Chains A and B, each alone.
Chain A
């Protein structure tokens, strides 16, 4: 077999059309073959996405009280759209997500810029990865202890002379949101860093060398050459991270539970609270459907474009 390979490969490249399989197989089966390969995975995903979607739409038309389903038409939707808590959750998710994502992107780019040419890059990478490898629930407890229960952050800031006494981090809206952002940035900046560094290392070194010989400084090379070249990668990475940030739940569940006054309640936590704390399942389903619609719109526009540019 190995001795045959060269002649065949030359042939294959020249004609560029796949050779007809020597096995006899009906044309219908040949045509259906890729679909058959895909079928198990697709059926699985459809059951786990389409079924819940339909169920959520159906359930959202009822007021559900334990076993009793009472027809409500679009009642749930009209009350949700007037529910200040729903809009607050949407706003919180967008605000916390946007700040957190910008910080992560900025920090990851900055450290990737310094790290990728460094001789100790392998060591840095492992150190920087570590926060990402803790279970999210563990990370939430680290910061809950550091900010609130253990008063460590207050103590450290106090020693630096920045504040006096104990801060009540859950007592003010911006501070409570900030604790969530700190936990998210700490855990997930590595995700972007790893991708950015790989992109920078994968770049054509000769272009950088040439620019270097022309007397360009590293910051200007980075800004004018590297950054534009890695733009598709940045777009894909930010898109993926952005999607995950909008689903933020664990940190809210462990650290703030939405306090103070719902200022840290995210969409995911809103749905959870309506469904599994207050047992308004119809209401929670209506919120899910609205969030699904938003997701589909974002997926069809931003993500599709991001992954197309990423491929090229």
Chain B
């Protein structure tokens, strides 16, 4: 008994060392980067790193004066929100078909949709670049919207499908005997019943869209289409070098809303990230 208690005590110590240690690994770089955002530029790159900098809003003033941050933010929001809407419109009926109907080729179609997620962006980068060039859509937020929608469509479809599978069939059968058609059932019963899944899918799709880098880098060439993600990389080059304090500040401007969204869907996150394969 005493031995058991002792080993338990030890394991508590080990447990909190491991958990606390990893928490430090996660948080310290973030806190340090936050301090970068609020220090003068002269204290960013120094022969000896400065851990207790002077507080300064230099980066903020730079962002407000020299950098069309409102424009980049607007581009991000339009492209991301638009892509999520496209995804939901396309994915909800598709997910319904995959979840509720028996038909030839269902497994293969489902797997094809899933497999588009595995395509490395670089594989399609060159053709997509030429496609949008032909369409005259280079350097446009609309092109980004279409691309983001395509990247996330598989994920959104699979997440929603997984939640639809959980809805008891009896709900639909009742409505069907009441004379409701398939589309009415989808709209009035299925969609409300799997709303948590739809929201989860939308949030995860939005995060991936905000993060997208390669396509945005190729398609956007001016502030017409620069998003937050790629505009960050725009602080490099030039005679000024990399303006780290502004980069840090922008990172946190994007981080806060994402953190809030994720906390809202926390319970569904694992299911969403595995496209429904793991029920959390």
Contact = CB atoms under 8 A, between A and B. Distances in A.
Contact of B153 (A41, A55, A249, A299): A41
A34 B120 contact: no
Interface stretch (A18-26, A75-83, A172-180): A18-26
Given A8-B170, A150-B44, A151-B49, A236 B277 contact: yes
B126 A275 contact: yes
Contacts of B30: 130-131, 134
B33 A4 contact: no
A150 B103 contact: no
Given A9-B173, A23-B179, A141-B244, A271 B124 contact: no
Contacts of B269: 129, 194, 198
Contact of A291 (B27, B47, B120): B120
Given A22-B179, A38-B97, A137-B230, A295 B123 contact: yes
A38 B94 contact: yes
Contact of B120 (A35, A146, A190, A268): A268
A281 B133 CA distance: 14
A49 interface: yes
Given A186-B25, A201-B280, A268-B122, A1 B175 contact: yes
Given A44-B153, A135-B254, A247 B122 contact: yes
B91 interface: yes
For the complex, would chain B's binding face be called helix, strand, loop or mixed by DSSP majority? helix
B62 interface: no
A50 B161 CA distance: 23
B36 to A, nearest CB: 7
B26 A275 contact: no
A155 to B, nearest CB: 5
Contacts of A48: 116, 124, 128, 146-147, 150
Of the candidates B19, B259, B269, the one having the most CB atoms from chain A within 10 angstroms of its own CB is B19
Contacts of A4: 174, 177-178
B244 A149 contact: yes
B52 interface: no
Contact of B116 (A49, A129, A134, A145): A49
A51 interface: yes
B12 to A, nearest CB: 10
Counting contact residues on chain B (CB < 8 A from A), the size range is 35 or more
Contacts of B218: 276
B84 to A, nearest CB: 14
B15 A41 contact: no
A310 B278 contact: yes
Contacts of B220: none
B251 A275 contact: no
Contacts, number: 317
Interface string B193-217: 0000000000000010011011001
Contacts of B242: 141, 144, 149
B22 A107 contact: yes
A169 B94 CA distance: 48
Nearest to B8: A218
A256 interface: no
Of the candidates A1, A11, A137, A253, the one having the most CB atoms from chain B within 10 angstroms of its own CB is A137
Contacts of B103: 31, 34-35
Interface of A: 1, 4-5, 8-9, 11-13, 18-19, 21-23, 31, 33-35, 37-38, 40-42, 44-45, 48-49, 51-53, 55-56, 59, 107, 110-111, 114-115, 118, 122, 124-131, 133-138, 141-146, 149-152, 155, 186, 190-191, 194-195, 197-199, 201-202, 217-218, 233, 236-237, 240, 243, 246-247, 249-250, 253-254, 267-269, 271-272, 275-276, 281, 284-285, 288, 291-292, 295-296, 298-299, 303-304, 307, 310-311
Given A35-B97, A122-B266, 4 more contacts: A8-B173, A37-B96, A291-B120, A303-B118
Interface of B: 7, 11, 14-15, 18-19, 22-23, 25-27, 29-30, 32-33, 36, 44-45, 47-49, 89-91, 93-94, 96-98, 101, 103, 106, 109, 111-131, 146-147, 149-150, 153-154, 157, 168-171, 173-179, 181-182, 207, 210-211, 213-214, 217-218, 228-230, 232-233, 236, 242, 244, 247-248, 250-251, 254-255, 258-259, 262-263, 266, 269-271, 273-275, 277-280
